[in-house]
C-alpha cells in the first residue's frame, strides 16, 4: 500500500538539525575534508532510514570571515555543500543566522526541539556573547552539542554556548558525525506520543550535573523541560506551570542544595500532587550528591530513586528504563 506522505507528515513532528561549521583558515586540509565526508555520510544514512527521511530537516551554517546559511529543508532535498576553508572565525555571525532561523523557520508546537551541532577549531574573531545569550534564553529547549577540534579552542566560550562539549581526539572529526548520526536516528525514530516529556527540577548550584543529565536524556529521545537560564521572577510561575502541565514525568536532581531550594521543593510537591490526581505518571529522584537521611522528607524518601553518586551510567540506564527509553 502506498504511503500517504501528507498524512504521515502530520503524524510525525519534524526534527530540525543545524550544522554550524567553522570554515576558517585553520580548518584547511584534513579537517575540512572530514567535515565534507561527514555531511555526505549524514545525508546517505538518513535517506536510507525511512523514519529519519520523513522527519529530519537540515540546514548548514558556515562561518569564516562572514557567515552564510543553506535553507532549512527536508533531508530528502538536501545536497551537502562542498566546503573550503579560509578566512577568520565569525562565530557570532553564525549564531545570529541560527537565532533568526529558529525564530522564523520553526513551526510552534509542531517541531521537536532542534539539534545544533557546532564544529570549531578556534576562538571567535567577532562579537558572539549577545547571540549566545539569545540562544540560551529561549523558551524552547535547544540541544547544542559542540565539537572542539585541536588545541586552539576556547572551551570557556563553548561552555557558554553548548549543552555538551566534546573533544576531537587526534582531530578525528569524522567520528563526531558517526556518533551524532546515531543520536539523530534515535531521536527521529520516536513518534511524539512515544517520546517521554520530562520536567527536570534542580538547584542552580547543581547546573553542571543537570546539564549533563539533560543532554543524555535528550540524546536518548526524551523531550526535556528544564530551567538552566534562571527564569526571571516576572514569568516564573507561568513558565513552571506550562512546563509541569506538558510533562509526563518529573525528575528531581536530589542534592542537599535541592532540598533547601524553595523552588525545587515547591515544584516537587506540585508534581507529587499531579501524580495523585493522575495528571502525571511519576516523580523520580536521581541522587547527584550525598544527602543526610534526616534532611529528606518522608514523601520524597519513599520514592524509588537512582543513585548517580555510585555509578552515573547505571543510574542513567535505570532512569531511561523507568521512562520507557531502554532497559536497566
CATH number of this structure's domain 10-188, picked from the four choices 3.90.1300.10, 3.50.50.60, 1.10.1050.10, 3.40.50.410: 3.40.50.410
Cα(280)–Cα(260) distance, rounded to whole angstroms?
24
67-81, 133-147, 199-213, 245-259, range with the lowest pLDDT:
133-147
| Better pLDDT: 201 or 143 | 201
pLDDT over 60 at 108, yes or no: no
Phi then psi for 224, rounded to 5 degrees? -115, 130
Angle 327-116-33 from CA coordinates, rounded to 5°: 105
Cα(236)–Cα(241) distance, rounded to whole angstroms?
8
* Local structure of residue 1 (DSSP, 8 states): -
Which pLDDT belongs to residue 49?
Answer: 82
pLDDT over 80 at 239, yes or no: no
Can you list the positions of beta strands (E) in the chain? 15-22, 56-63, 67-69, 73-74, 115-120, 143-149, 164-168, 197-201, 223-225, 249-254, 282-287, 306-307
Label residue 106 by pLDDT band (50, 70, 90): confident
pLDDT over 50 at 11, yes or no: no
Cα(154)–Cα(148) distance, rounded to whole angstroms?
8
Q: For CATH 3.40.50.10140, list the domain ranges present in the chain.
A: 197-322
Mean pLDDT of the region 216-245: 76
Which pLDDT belongs to residue 118?
Answer: 97
pLDDT over 90 at 72, yes or no: yes
pLDDT over 90 at 240, yes or no: no
pTM: 0.60
Strands 56-63 and 73-74 come out as antiparallel
Q: 197-322 — its CATH code?
A: 3.40.50.10140
Mean pLDDT of the region 18-22: 97
Cα(323)–Cα(274) distance, rounded to whole angstroms?
17
Which pLDDT belongs to residue 87?
Answer: 97
20 near 61, Cβ under 8 Å?
Answer: yes
pLDDT over 70 at 140, yes or no: no
Cα(222)–Cα(129) distance, rounded to whole angstroms?
29
Phi then psi for 102, rounded to 5 degrees? -60, -35
Mean pLDDT, the chain, whole residue set:
87
Which pLDDT belongs to residue 235?
Answer: 59
| Better pLDDT: 169 or 155 | 155
pLDDT over 80 at 39, yes or no: yes
| Better pLDDT: 306 or 327 | 306
| Better pLDDT: 168 or 270 | 270
Cα(284)–Cα(190) distance, rounded to whole angstroms?
22
Label residue 117 by pLDDT band (50, 70, 90): very high
pLDDT over 50 at 308, yes or no: yes
Label residue 236 by pLDDT band (50, 70, 90): low
Mean pLDDT of the region 279-285: 95
Q: For CATH 3.40.50.410, list the domain ranges present in the chain.
A: 10-188
216 near 166, Cβ under 8 Å?
Answer: no
161 near 146, Cβ under 8 Å?
Answer: yes
pLDDT over 90 at 282, yes or no: yes
| Better pLDDT: 326 or 100 | 100
Cα(272)–Cα(148) distance, rounded to whole angstroms?
41
Amino acid at each position: 500500500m502506498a504511503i500517504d506522505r501528507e498524512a504521515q507528515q502530520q503524524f510525525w513532528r519534524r526534527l530540525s538539525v543545524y550544522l554550524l561549521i567553522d570554515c576558517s583558515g585553520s580548518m584547511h586540509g584534513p579537517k575540512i575534508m572530514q567535515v565534507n565526508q561527514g555531511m555526505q555520510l549524514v545525508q546517505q544514512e538518513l535517506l536510507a532510514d525511512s523514519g529519519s527521511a520523513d522527519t529530519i530537516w537540515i540546514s548548514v551554517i558556515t562561518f569564516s570571515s562572514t557567515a552564510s546559511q543553506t535553507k532549512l529543508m527536508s533531508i530528502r532535498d538536501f545536497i551537502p555543500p562542498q566546503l573550503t576553508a579560509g578566512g577568520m572565525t565569525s562565530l557570532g555571525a553564525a549564531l545570529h543566522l541560527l537565532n533568526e532561523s529558529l525564530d522564523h523557520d520553526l513551526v510552534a508546537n509542531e517541531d521537536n526541539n532542534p539539534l545544533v551541532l557546532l564544529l570549531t577549531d578556534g576562538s571567535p574573531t567577532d562579537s558572539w556573547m549577545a547571540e549566545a545569550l539569545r540562544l540560551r534564553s529561549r523558551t524552547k529547549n535547544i540541544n547544542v552539542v559542540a565539537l572542539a577540534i585541536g588545541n586552539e579552542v576556547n572551551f570557556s566560550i563553548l561552555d557558554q554556548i553548548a549543552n555538551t562539549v566534546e573533544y576531537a581526539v587526534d582531530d578525528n572529526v569524522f567520528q563526531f558525525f558517526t556518533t551524532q548520526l546515531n543520536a539523530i536516528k534515535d531521536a527521529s525514530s520516536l513518534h511524539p506520543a512515544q517520546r517521554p516529556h520530562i520536567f527536570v527540577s534542580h538547584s542552580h548550584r547543581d547546573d553542571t550535573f543537570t546539564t549533563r543529565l539533560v543532554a543524555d536524556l535528550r540524546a536518548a529521545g526524551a523531550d526535556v523541560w528544564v530551567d538552566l537560564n534562571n527564569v526571571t521572577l516576572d514569568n516564573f510561575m507561568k513558565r513552571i506551570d506550562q512546563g509541569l502541565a506538558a510533562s509526563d514525568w518529573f525528575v528531581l536532581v536530589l542534592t542537599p542544595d535541592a532540598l533547601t531550594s524553595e523552588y525545587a521543593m515547591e515544584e516537587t510537591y506540585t508534581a507529587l500532587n499531579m501524580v495523585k490526581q493522575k495528571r502525571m505518571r511519576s516523580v523520580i529522584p536521581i541522587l547527584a550528591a550525598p544527602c543526610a537521611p534526616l534532611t529528606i522528607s518522608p514523601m520524597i524518601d519513599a520514592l524509588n530513586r537512582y543513585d548517580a553518586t555510585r555509578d552515573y551510567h547505571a543510574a542513567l540506564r535505570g532512569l531511561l528504563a523507568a521512562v520507557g527509553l531502554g532497559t536497566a
